[in-house]
Amino acid sequence: MSVTLRQISLREIQLELKEPFRISSGTATTRRIMLLELVDVDGTRAWSECVAGEIPNYTPETIDTCWLAITKWIAPALLETPIEHPSHVHGKLERNFRGHQMAKAAVEMGMWAVESHRQDKSLAEILGGTRTKVAAGVSLGIQDNPQALVEKATAAIARGYQKVKLKIMPGADVQFVGAVREALGKTAPLMADANNAYTLADIEVLEALDKFGLIMIEQPLAWDDIVRHAELQKKLVTPICLDESITSIDRAEDMLTLSAGRIINIKPARVGGFSASIAIHDLCKKNNVPVWCGGMLESGIGRGYNVALASLPNFRLPGDISPSDRYWARDIVTPEWTMDTDGLVTVPRDQPGIGTTVNVDLVDDLTQRHETLGG
């Protein structure tokens, strides 16, 4: 059964976060989110989300570069072109077209959702996902002082989150993580994420963090580095988890070859979509390296894609898949994403696509710009 896209509509909505989210490279307050609506020649439709931020502080992409890449290159390459299966989209988009993974992923993942509707099977099922529930963690932004972070982390554990990720940067690291470890005790499931804030010259700080028994330290060094992470991993007991550096299956292979990390955070958008995510998942599974699903402060649409992906068997650690009310006063889907008191999010396995319904009227109200490609 092949898919042929007839139309791709792009919109930008703005959605205000309940509280600012600060990482070492910048602060998000109102998210500018690109949503896509894909329509195939038979009229099957699916919504998808492009997760790129407003400024290029995570990867080089932004919502504006994605808008350009989709309208100028990606949509023209796919519209009216029969595609045998969504797993073929990634290869087609990689050929002679460098980078722009988040832009490519927004369309590729949308095509998986179209396929899921065409087959009337859940997205989780067509991806090969086996779980009925996925474990959720929370990612806590950098706070003004250690006590504020302790309060947030304590509340997160009480709420049921199975993992608490503490964002760190120079000046908000050892004291902050130490205070949380002290308050929550030795067994609390804590990790830290530096978003590239350190270099090998900061070894003393990194060795101090190594003493806290963290599940992992995420992306301490440069966003595109593998080699120095390998050097650092030799000096740390704590597993390094790579996020920004893993942009493809090749980079995942490099990490394994060089022992540059022991865990991968898979964000499907960062690697160009679901096919690349599944390839990295399978490679890691074969090498007994756990993966988990990262987040990009998604709306309920992007969250549906993450939940489906996290249902694959080697997603063995809790994902950054918090419920809708962690981020938004009101999400753009009904029902919103919820988490039970054991920190589990239910995978919608009895309906196709993202597994929840888009509030189109609300999306219309929030829309700042709109462009339709194809007929």
Applying CB under 6 A, the residues found at the interface with ligand OSB are 23, 58, 139, 193, 195, 243, 294-297, 320, 322
Q: How far apart are CA 108 and CA 320, in angstroms?
A: 22
Q: Which does 225 bind (CB under 5 to 8 A by kind): Mg ion, ligand OSB, none?
A: none
Output the smallest distance, CB 247 to ligand OSB, in A.
14
Output the smallest distance, CB 342 to ligand OSB, in A.
18
CB 32 within 8 A of CB 298: no
The Cα-based distances of 107 to 55, 104, 212, 332 in angstroms read 21, 6, 41, 19
Of the listed 92, 211, 267, 286, which one is catalytic?
267
Of 3 and 164, nearer to ligand OSB (C-beta) is: 164
Q: Which does 109 bind (CB under 5 to 8 A by kind): Mg ion, ligand OSB, none?
A: none
Which residue number places its CB atom closest to ligand OSB?
Answer: 295
Give 218's strand partners: 193, 241
Of the listed 92, 163, 167, 186, which one is catalytic?
167
Of 115 and 173, nearer to Mg ion (C-beta) is: 173
Q: Does the annotation count 286 as an active-site position?
A: no
Q: 5-34 mask for Mg ion (x: CB under 5 A)? A: ------------------------------
Does 243 help bind Mg ion (rule: CB under 5 A)? yes
Q: Which amino acid is at 329?
A: A
> Is the bond leading into 20 cis (omega within 30 degrees of zero)?
no
DSSP element (H, E) containing 146: helix 146-159
Which residue number places its CB atom closest to Mg ion?
Answer: 243
Q: Does the annotation count 165 as an active-site position?
A: no
Q: 206-225 mask for Mg ion (x: CB under 5 A)? A: ------------x-------
Per the structure block, which two tokens stand in for 183? 């308050």
Q: Which does 333 bind (CB under 5 to 8 A by kind): Mg ion, ligand OSB, none?
A: none
Of 167 and 181, nearer to Mg ion (C-beta) is: 167
Residue 60 has φ and ψ, to the nearest 5°, of -65, -15
Of 139 and 277, nearer to ligand OSB (C-beta) is: 139
The Cα-based distances of 116 to 79, 264, 278 in angstroms read 19, 26, 16
**Residue from 37, 61, 115, 193 that binds Mg ion (CB under 5 A)?**
193
Of 41 and 55, nearer to ligand OSB (C-beta) is: 55
Q: How far apart are CA 59 and CA 216, in angstroms?
A: 21
Give me the sign of the Cα torsion angle 363, 368, 374, 375: positive
Output the smallest distance, CB 339 to ligand OSB, in A.
12
Q: DSSP assignment of 52-113, as one string?
A: --SSSSSSS--HHHHHHHIIIIIHHHHBT--BS-GGGHHHHHHTT----HHHHHHHHHHHHH
Q: Which residues bind Mg ion (CB under 5 A)?
A: 193, 218, 243
List active site positions: 167, 267
